[in-house]
């Protein structure tokens, strides 16, 4: 109610709503025109039918029917032109409304981009990228320095190292050959070690017999 009063007295209206209202009104008018066109077309067909029926028997009636048909055709033509103009207005309004919505969306997106880039500038971006490159280069240099051998600057005689390696290899081969040719007989000391427990057992048995004999007396 208040919105209607404000619009009546020239108050501010929503452009989107105004466009929708205009499109609805135009489409309603187009429906009325289409119904009117159907009515006029039927009238034209009826007058044409009368003219044919009276073309031989009553030329005056046939002529009058043709005149009415001609007038109705002119009215139908004017109505069709009006319908064409209304359709053009509907298309124009719909296109304008669509463009307005697109512009509103683009404006909103532009505002969002502005908010995002508000604190950014080309100079700041260049400075940040330069700092990243410097830090990356520094990290690479540190990694390279850490991974460098601690023997840097010490000179080695490669021939001497090869000779020492060959001697170690020969020693290992000689030791392996010696292990492969060890005799399989047991050493003499092993039998003596085995005989000692047997002597201890015989002595204990003799002592036990002496104790039994003493108790029997």
Q: What is the pLDDT of residue 167?
A: 84
Q: What is the SS3 assignment for 13? A: coil
Let me know: does 67 contact 43? Beta carbons within 8 Å: no
Q: What is the pLDDT of residue 51?
A: 92
CA distance 25 to 18: 11
CA distance 77 to 149: 99
Structural domains in the chain plus CATH codes = 17-91 (1.10.287.1060)
CA distance 72 to 80: 12
Q: What is the SS3 assignment for 177? A: helix
Q: What is the pLDDT of residue 183?
A: 55
What angle do the packed helices 59-116 and 15-53 form, to 10 degrees? 160
* Assigned token pair, 12: 């501010």
Element (H, E) at 145: helix 122-147
Q: What angle do CA 164, 170, 174 make, to 5 degrees?
A: 145
* Assigned token pair, 114: 């502005």
How far, rounded to the nearest angstrom, does the alpha carbon of residue 79 sit from its chain's CA centroid?
Answer: 55
Cα-Cα-Cα-Cα torsion 75, 76, 77, 79, nearest 10 degrees, comes to 90
Q: What is the pLDDT of residue 72?
A: 95
Q: Enter the pTM of the model.
A: 0.46
Q: What is the pLDDT of residue 39?
A: 96
The residues of the chain scoring below 70 in pLDDT are: 1-13, 147-156, 181-202, 204, 207-209, 211-217
């Amino acid at each position: 109610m208040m919105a209607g009063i404000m619009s009546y007295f020239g108050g501010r209206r929503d452009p989107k709503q105004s466009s929708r209202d205009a499109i609805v009104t135009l489409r309603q008018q187009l429906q009325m025109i289409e119904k009117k066109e159907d009515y006029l077309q039927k009238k034209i067909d009826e007058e044409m039918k009368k003219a044919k029926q009276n073309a031989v028997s009553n030329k005056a009636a046939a002529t009058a029917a043709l005149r009415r048909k001609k007038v109705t055709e002119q009215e139908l033509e004017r109505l069709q032109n009006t319908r064409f103009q209304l359709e053009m207005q509907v298309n124009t309004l719909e296109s304008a409304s669509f463009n307005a919505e697109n512009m509103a969306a683009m404006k909103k997106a532009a505002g969002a981009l502005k908010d995002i880039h508000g604190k950014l500038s080309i100079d700041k971006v260049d400075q940040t990228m330069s700092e990243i490159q410097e830090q990356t280069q520094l990290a690479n240099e540190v990694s390279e320095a850490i991974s460098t051998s601690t023997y840097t600057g010490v000179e080695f005689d490669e021939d001497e190292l090869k000779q020492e390696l060959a001697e170690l290899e020969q020693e290992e081969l000689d030791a392996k050959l010696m292990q492969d040719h060890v005799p399989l007989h047991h050493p003499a000391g092993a039998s003596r070690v085995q005989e000692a427990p047997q002597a201890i057992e015989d002595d204990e048995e003799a002592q036990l017999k002496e104790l039994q004999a003493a108790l029997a007396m």
